[in-house]
Structures are given as C-alpha cells and as structure tokens.
C-alpha cells in the first residue's frame, strides 16, 4: 500500500464511484449469484445515471478510499429520508462499505467505518445501522466486533434472487 487516504466524493466522481462499486460488488458476490442476477443488479445499481442521482441526493454522503492514485473502496452513508429502511431522524445508515479484495484485511474497511462513525457523531446521531447479507460471515463479524448487534431482517434483491440481510445497529 502506497498512501491510503479518504476523500469525500461529489457529482464529479460518478465514474470513480461507479467503477469501484461494480468491481467490489462483483468481487464479493459473483461466486454466490447467477451471472444473470449479477448482471441485472450491477446494471440497475451501478449505472452512471443511478450513481449520479445518489451522489446528488442531499441525504447521502460518499467517500472514496485511495491507495495513491488508485481507488480501492468506498463508503456510502445516508441520513433521514435517504435511509433505505428505518428513516429515523437520529440515525445514520451505512449503506455501503465496499473494499477491493486485495485490500481486505488491511484495515481499509475499518478506516471507512471510522469515517462513518465520525460523520454520525458530527451530525449528532444516536445510532448507526446497516444491512448485511446473512451469509457474509466476515462482514457480520467485522460489524459485531465494532459494537453492532442484529435487531431485524430485510430482503435484499440481487437480480431476481431475494436474499435475507440482517439489520444491525450500534447505539452511540
């Protein structure tokens, strides 16, 4: 690793966020999904138009993590009406912490989590919550070790496949 830094992403960063989002999601989940379901999910959720709309939403904040000039992951957090499930005024949702597989286990995800925590505290939120696939034991352990506890479940659709996510929350 050259020099890891985190920068806030804006509407000019559509292609960076789109590319790193597609790559990290594919790396993490292609082996567990059909090619058709992956293609549909990636096309629907990582198009330039969709990412531009997300980057422009006032309730969403993105950060990209860089190794020198190379983007290696990103964070998306949501507040209030941008949240996907709870939409509680006093909570912050971590919608995505995605890191390239080559950088997993190197504290890059932890840095992004700490950025989310910093944002939540700066906005005077009383809790952080997220959804994590029930079969993603590595991510579940990561969040558990950072103080999150499961409180509910919801369906997360990858293409046509309905998968179950644990909803996890940490009180601040």
Q: Which residues are catalytic?
A: 143
Strand partners, 30: none
Question: What whole-number distance in Å separates Cα of residue 144 and Cα of residue 100?
Answer: 21
* Three-class secondary structure of residue 77 per DSSP: strand
Q: What is the 3-state secondary structure (H, E, C) of the chain?
A: CCCEEEEEECHHHHHHHHHHHHHHHHHHHHHHCCHHHHHHHHHHHCCHHHHHHHHHCCCEEEEEEEECCEEEEEEEEEEHHHCCCCCCCCEEEEEEEEECHHHCCCCHHHHHHHHHHHHHHHCCCCEEEEEEECCCHHHHHHHHHCCCEEEEEEEEEECCEEEEEEEEEEEC
């Amino acid at each position: 690793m050259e020099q890891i830094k985190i920068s806030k992403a804006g509407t000019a960063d559509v292609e960076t966020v789109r590319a790193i989002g597609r790559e990290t999601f594919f790396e993490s989940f292609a082996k567990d999904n059909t090619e058709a379901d992956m293609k549909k999910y990636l096309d629907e959720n990582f198009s330039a138009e969709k990412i531009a709309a997300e980057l422009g939403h006032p309730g969403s904040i993105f950060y990209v993590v860089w190794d020198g000039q190379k983007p290696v992951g990103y964070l998306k957090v949501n507040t209030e009406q941008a949240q996907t499930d709870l939409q509680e005024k006093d909570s912050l949702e971590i919608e995505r912490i995605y890191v390239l597989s080559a950088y997993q286990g190197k504290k890059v995800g932890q840095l992004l989590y700490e950025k989310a925590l910093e944002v939540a505290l700066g906005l005077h939120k009383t809790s952080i919550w997220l959804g994590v696939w029930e079969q993603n034991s590595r991510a579940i352990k990561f969040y558990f070790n950072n103080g999150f506890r499961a409180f509910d479940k919801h369906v997360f659709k990858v293409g046509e496949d309905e998968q179950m996510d644990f909803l996890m929350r940490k009180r601040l």
